[in-house]
Amino acid sequence: MTVKEMAEALGWNLLAGEDGADNQIDGCYVGDLLSWVMARAQSGNVWITVMGNVNAIAVATLTDVSCIVLTENAALDQDAAKKAEMQGIPVYGCAANSYDTAVQVYERLK
């Protein structure tokens, strides 16, 4: 499933990085501690977090996640949005909490 297909199915709002919408998703990782995510998130994961800063974009680039989903309507700051566009990292937002979002991703990938 592509990032765009997942986003449309779950009603996520694109915040930045539309160029990466065709990335393939094969799992998800939930976490807000950037060093922890950097060591454990896998290529192809949806990264579910509330961290919408430029450092999160750097971690997404290093780990090669498919996209970032900012839960609970967490904001993506302007510098992060610019970096996401430059790096082709799709960043989406949603109102649901991280747990519910992870369950939704899991159900779609089954």
Instruction: Please report how the helices 78-87 and 54-63 are oriented relative to each other, as an axis angle in degrees rounded to 10.
Output: 20
* Domain around 45: 3-109
- Residue 62: the pLDDT is 97
Does the predicted TM-score (pTM) go above 0.85?
yes
- Residue 97: the pLDDT is 98
Q: Rounded to the nearest 5°, which phi and psi values hold at 43?
A: -55, 135
CB 67 within 8 A of CB 44: no
Give the number of domains in the chain: 1
The domain that holds 21 is classified in CATH as 3.40.1390.20
> pLDDT per position in the chain (110 positions), as tens?
999 999 999 999 999 999 999 999 999 999 999 999 999 999 999 999 999 999 999 999 999 999 999 999 999 999 999 999 999 999 999 999 999 999 999 999 99
